Amino acid sequence: MLGATALAIGAAVPAGLAYFFLHPPRQFHRKNPKSALGLAYERVRFRAEDGIILRGWYVPAKQQPKGVVVVSHGYFGNREMMLPYLAFLHHGGYSALLYDFRAHGWSNGRRASFGIHEPKDLQAAVQWTQEHPDLRHLPLFLFGESMGAAVSLLVAAQQSAVQAVVADSPYARFDNAVEGRIRSLLGKPAAVMLAPSAQRAGERLLGVKCTEIAPIEAVPQILPRPIHLIHGLEDRFIVPGNSRLIHAIAPEQITLWEVPRARHVCSVYVAPDEYAERVLAFLDQVTM
């Protein structure tokens, strides 16, 4: 009896973790570009190809824009978390579109998928910019952090209109990120024990192997368009080795900045001035 109970619990915990990660509690923004940065903006909505309605902010440049940047947040986040990036992008002369992924913020959808369906969301955002009369003639860039960085790489491989990508803390393959996410919730010993079974449970729910969510395999289709990788050296969620694997594909076309003392997606806070300078120099070089 006790053995059967232990087995049931052993199966239920990983399944519960998988369900929780695929259905993250929503976080809604409390600030917007106007209240946080004093920037004029427009609320927008657009529809992914599978019908999911997505919501976002369009923030035009003050003067003639150098380009337009589509900004994608990470898992368990929302567009408000990307306001620090918006601040320097706007100051640097770029228009920007920030949006909530499905199952996040104010967008529709009930399940996250870590890169299986989210590319449809970013594709819809790209299409919105390409249909906007003030934006469709401009250089187009993708900028993302964590899951948003991984999805940006996946979509850039499919979208020839994208001229360059800035990816902060992407995973090379999603299976590399599973243990880190569980570690953040339960600690390292539990992560080592539960990650394999939780991954299998999640794969059953998604109908896709985690190894199939593989931004690293999309990179050759992006090249020779430039990619700028950023990764904190203290990242324990998605370890820096993920960006190093991507960088190694083509070091002459992919730049990598590793930031000392920065935890997951915290480089912009640890070194805000250098972060802005590096990203704007990268974008400006592409637009020249």
* 201-219 tens-digit pLDDT: 766 767 777 678 899 999 9
Q: At residue 37, does pLDDT exceed 80?
A: yes
Question: What is the span of the domain harbouring residue 145?
Answer: 2-287
- Read off the pLDDT of residues 268-281 as tens digits, 9 standing for 90 and up: 999 999 999 999 99
Q: What is the pLDDT of residues 58-73, one digit of tens each?
A: 999 998 999 999 999 9
Per-residue pLDDT tens digits for 131-159: 999 999 999 999 999 999 999 999 999 99
pLDDT of residue 9: 38
Q: Could you tell me if 128 and 95 are in contact, meaning their C-beta atoms sit under 8 angstroms apart? A: no
Q: What is the pLDDT of residue 4?
A: 40
Residues whose CB falls within 8 Å of the CB of residue 115, separated by 6 or more in sequence, listed in order = 147, 150, 151, 154, 174, 213, 215
Instruction: Quote the number of domains for the chain.
Output: 1
Q: Say whether pLDDT at 163 is over 70.
A: yes
Query: How high is the pLDDT of residue 196?
Result: 73
Q: Give strand pairing partners of 181.
A: none
Q: Which one has a higher pLDDT value, 194 or 276?
A: 276
Query: Quick one: how many helices (H) and strands (E) in the chain?
Result: 11, 8
Higher-confidence residue of 2 and 220: namely 220
Highest-confidence segment of 20-24, 25-29, 58-62, 186-190: 58-62
**What's the pLDDT at 13?**
66
Tell me: pLDDT of 166 over 90. Answer: yes
Classify residue 68 as left (phi > 0), alpha (psi -120 to 50) or beta.
Answer: beta
3-state secondary structure of 93: coil
Which CATH number fits the domain that encloses residue 259? 3.40.50.1820
